[in-house]
Chains A and B, each alone.
Chain A
């Protein structure tokens, strides 16, 4: 066995065995098992995707977006802080009451007319009222203004004035920067 020629012959035989018969038998066995596994999987219906969680999550998102867009995005709000009589709250309880600037809305010839009870040009419509009051508001950018931003303004629509026009006038006064707007009783 110690003869180098014998050892070399033995190794050659071993290598031939590995490369041919034995190895081939192992490969065939592995391939057969793979085919069996595939056939078994096919018999069970293949790889399945569970759709239930996906549908649940889709419904969840759908309900969420439908509800939030309906509830929140479709309305705007105009601020009005009211005192007991429905008027604006005084800025300071100790300050003397200033006479409010009165803005009247009257219904004439199927349209609503705006009148400011102060010696100033009269506006034609609520938009003009906003510009007029903004130009009279006192501030660092307008030192020639007459009324401070917290000067009380009383909005006095007539009984038959539509709510649409009342809100338009209220909106114009708010846009002009005045913070103490009250609603008078209908005339």
Chain B
């Protein structure tokens, strides 16, 4: 009986962790590294992640949100806005984490920042968007 219970626990923990990591959608990229940093560590607040995928030349290749990629044009940004609005409607206290490659141009990132603000207003009028800019943490001394 003991090995059976152990295996059941193992599977439960595995799937819980995998589903959490899948939800956070952490795409590998080179995040900005400000120093000395004012960044705080991620807490236990619910979160959704907007990833700006770089094409390697400083331009956004695609926006990735909840496992779906959106083109970096007006239609793609509108679809991304709808998806973020739905996430904020489902859970008003959710934080929106913006993960963008350090080499990207501001002109490509700014529309997404504006979109997050608009999505928050559409989902929950009067509530600010809880945007969090992801950065690399400083090495621990």
Q: Are A82 and B133 in contact (CB under 8 A)?
A: no
A152 within 8 A of B: no
A103 within 8 A of B: no
Q: Are A161 and B105 in contact (CB under 8 A)?
A: yes
A186 partner residues in chain B, CB cutoff 8 A: 106-107, 110
Look across to chain A and name the residue whose beta carbon is closest to the beta carbon of B125. A84
B79 within 8 A of A: no
Q: Are B110 and A183 in contact (CB under 8 A)?
A: yes
Of A21-29, A41-49, A72-80, A140-148, which binds chain B? A72-80
A86 partner residues in chain B, CB cutoff 8 A: 110, 113-118
8 Å CB interface, B113-127 against A = 113-118, 120-121
Number of interface residues of A (CB under 8 A): 50
Look across to chain A and name the residue whose beta carbon is closest to the beta carbon of B44. A72
B3 within 8 A of A: yes
Q: Are B7 and A82 in contact (CB under 8 A)?
A: no
B21: contacting residue among A60, A71, A183, CB under 8 A: A71
B10 within 8 A of A: yes
B120: contacting residue among A70, A82, A157, A160, CB under 8 A: A82
Bitwise interface map of A from 51 to 86 toward B, beta carbon under 8 Å scored 1, else 0: 011001101100110011011111111111111111
Q: How many A-B contacts are there with CB distance less than 8 Å? A: 169
8 Å CB interface, A122-158 against B = 126, 157-158
Number of interface residues of B (CB under 8 A): 57
**Distance between Cα atoms of A77 and B24 in the complex (Å):** 14
A82: contacting residue among B14, B99, B113, CB under 8 A: B113
A162 within 8 A of B: yes
Q: Are B121 and A78 in contact (CB under 8 A)?
A: no
Look across to chain B and name the residue whose beta carbon is closest to the beta carbon of A112. B106
Look across to chain B and name the residue whose beta carbon is closest to the beta carbon of A60. B10
Q: Are A80 and B101 in contact (CB under 8 A)?
A: no
A81 partner residues in chain B, CB cutoff 8 A: 128-131
**Distance between Cα atoms of A166 and B113 in the complex (Å):** 13
A40 within 8 A of B: no
**Distance between Cα atoms of A135 and B103 in the complex (Å):** 31
A168 within 8 A of B: yes
8 Å CB interface, B1-23 against A = 2-3, 6-7, 9-10, 13-14, 17-18, 20-21
Q: Are A77 and B21 in contact (CB under 8 A)?
A: no
Q: Are A171 and B24 in contact (CB under 8 A)?
A: no
**Distance between Cα atoms of A79 and B103 in the complex (Å):** 21
* 9 extra A-B contacts, CB within 8 A, seeds A67-B21, A71-B20, A171-B135: A71-B21, A72-B42, A74-B137, A80-B131, A82-B128, A84-B121, A160-B106, A167-B32, A172-B34
